[in-house]
Structure 1
Amino acid sequence: MLVIVSPAKKLDFETSSPISDFVEPKFIEKSKELIRDLRKCSPAEVSKMMKLSEALTDLNVQRYKSFKTPFTPKNAKQAIFSFKGDTYVGFDAETLSAPQIKYAQKHMRILSGLYGVLSPLELIQPYRLEMGTKFSCNGSKNLYEFWKSDLTSELNSILKKEKVLVNCASTEYSGAVNFSAIDGRVVTPVFKDKKNDQYKIISFFAKKARGMMARYIVENKVTEVEDLKNFGSDGYAFSESMSSENEFVFTRG
């Protein structure tokens, strides 16, 4: 079983990593192509393209300038300990053991606008480049086109052994995968909370729950699709009536 998740805008490069193991990014040459073209953008263009404040624009323009290879633990950090958004609050990598992180390294991937697809221990440098950004590079009209073939091929290479892909990524990021070409079963967990007597997807809660599902898979070394239905973190429970063959709905409230 392989689980995919989205990255996060919130980053932590101040706290040291709890483990020293690392891997160099697999698609760093493509990342360098993106950085090359991002450096050509003026601050005004970056601000408009990414809808950023002046302070965030300046920060990210500086990040593009500071991007430097080769990546080492001195100038970069493992992806799983760098992202700090809602999904990563749910995943809570810092409380996993070294063997559990090693398991995640084989069974989890993070989709990224700059790095394509990352294993948990691949090094990254701080950046902002969301997959949905209207940015063309090297003949591709957008990042979906730039990454889709490589992302799909990379996931398929892992699925030769794993057979099942659990899609815990957001729509923005999962859109970079050509699911019709995926060689395996794709299962998408959906998390709904009760609001005004109706079950709805509430973004903040859903993001955190997707991280908790990824952790559940890693902690329990889940291999069977049916075992996903036993997920019950934070009060969620599987809903048979709302679910379909490959969309598993979990409700709370």
Structure 2
Amino acid sequence: MLLLLSPAKSLDTAPLAAPRPATLPDFIPESATLAQHMRRLGPQDLAQIMGISDELAVLNVTRFQSWSPEFTDTNSKQAVLAFNGDVYEGLNAATLDAAGLAWAQDHLRILSGLYGVLRPLDRMQPYRLEMGTRLKGTKVEADIGTNLYGYWGDKVTLKLNEALAAQKAAQPVVVNCASEEYFKVVKPKLLAARLVTPVFEDWKGGKFKIISFYAKRARGLMARYAVDHRVSDVEQLKRFDSEGYAFDAAASDDAIWRFRRRVE
């Protein structure tokens, strides 16, 4: 089983209090090419295509300028410990022990605009490059393409297939806890696995609905549940009950699993 997550916009770049194991990303040459071309874009360009403030645009221009194909203790950090958004608050990877991180390394993957796909312990240098970034009309379009989906092509899916094959499971499964924006880089028809997508809904206004903040956190909570329980059979995820969520069989099918809660 592989469980997919999206990255986070916010990052924790503070040095680790104690050393942790680290690996290198699989697509360093592709990331280097992306970073090289993104260096050609100035703050105004980034502000426009990313929809970010001038201050954030300047920060990310600086990040692309300083990006290096050499990953060190000072310029990089393990992905699962660097991302710091709602998903990663739910996952809370900093509290995992060595065995938990090792299990996560084999069973979790993080989709990324700059890195394609990351294992939890893969080093990453700070960046912001969302998978849905539109490059059409920019000075890098001719080299990268109109978007990152085209740039990454089948590579991410094939890399996921490699990880699934290494697990040697009788029935490979991918659990999609990534956002729609990021999962679009995966080619379901090429994926050598059954696909299951959990959906997290809260009761509000007289009906169950997806509330973005809670749904993002729940994706991280499910990833943590999978790590803590060493989930080997996807059916075990139906027992997920963190923070009041429960599997609703009547509202689910083989591909879409709905987890719902009512908070009074």
TM-score past 0.5 threshold: yes
- Find runs of 4+ consecutive structure 1 residues off by over 6 angstroms: none
Q: Report what 1:61 is aligned to.
A: 61
Q: Cα distance, 1:42 vs. partner?
A: 2.0
Counterpart of 1:207, as a letter, is: K
Could you tell me which of 224, 233, 237 is aligned with 2:246? 237
CA contact (8 A) 1:33 1:137 kept: no
The equivalent residue for 1:91 is 91
Post-superposition offset of 1:192: 0.2
Give 2:149's match in structure 1, choosing from 124, 144, 153: 144
Match of 1:114 in 2: 114
| Secondary structure class of the residue paired with 2:102 | helix
Moved more, 146-155 or 199-208: 146-155
The Cα shift of 1:141 comes to 2.5
Q: Note closer, same or farther for the CA distance 1:17–1:107 as it changes in structure 2 (3 Å cut).
A: farther
Q: Where do residues 160-179 of structure 1 align in structure 2 (5 Å cutoff)?
A: 160=165, 161-162=168-169, 163-179=172-188
User: How many residues end up aligned between the 2 structures?
Assistant: 253
Asked whether the 8 Å contact 1:193–1:201 carries over to 2, the reply is: yes
Give 3-state SS (helix, strand or coil) of 1:173's partner. helix
State the 1:234 CA deviation. Answer: 0.5
CA distance in 1 between counterparts of 2:199 and 2:153 reads: 23
Match of 1:132 in 2: 132
Q: Distance in 2 between matches of 1:241 and 1:96?
A: 34
* Coordinate RMSD, CA, aligned: 1.2
CA contact (8 A) 1:109 1:117 kept: yes
Percent identity between the aligned chains?
Answer: 46
Cα shift at 1:11: 0.1
1:68 offset after TM fit, Å?
Answer: 1.7
In 2, Cα distance between equivalents of 1:105 and 1:40: 34
Q: 2-side partners of 1:69 and 1:31: how far apart?
A: 8
CA distance in 2, matches of 1:149, 1:228: 28
**Using the alignment, how far apart are the partners of 1:20 and 1:225 within structure 2?**
28
CA–CA distance in structure 2, aligned partners of residues 140 and 180 of structure 1:
23
Moved more, 173-182 or 14-23: 14-23
Change (3 A) 1:245 1:79: same
Instruction: Sort the Cα spacing of 1:17 and 1:178 in 2 relative to 1 into closer, same or farther, 3 A.
Output: farther
> Any idea what SS the aligned residue of 1:172 has?
helix
**Distance between the aligned counterparts of 1:98 and 1:19, measured in 2?**
11
1:39-85 CA distances to partner (integer Å, 9 max, x unpaired)?
A: 11122111101111111011111111111231011211000100000
Following superposition, the deviation at residue 19 of structure 1 comes to 3.8
Q: Distance in 2 between matches of 1:139 and 1:41?
A: 13
Contact 1:34 1:137 in 2 (8 A): no
Q: Counterparts in 2 of 1:1-253, with a 5 A limit?
A: 1-16=1-16, 18-135=18-135, 136=141, 138-160=143-165, 161-162=168-169, 163-253=172-262
Shift of 1:17: 5.6
TM-score by length of 2: 0.93
The aligned counterpart of 2:138 is: none
Q: TM-score, normalised by structure 1?
A: 0.97
Deviation at 1:140, TM superposition (A): 2.9
Match of 1:225, as an amino acid?
A: V
Check the 8 A contact 1:17/1:81 in 2, yes or no. Answer: no
Letter in 2 for 1:210: R
CA displacement at 1:117 relative to structure 2: 0.2
The whole-number CA distance in structure 2 between the counterparts of 1:2 and 1:125 is 24
> SS where residue 199 of structure 2 aligns?
strand
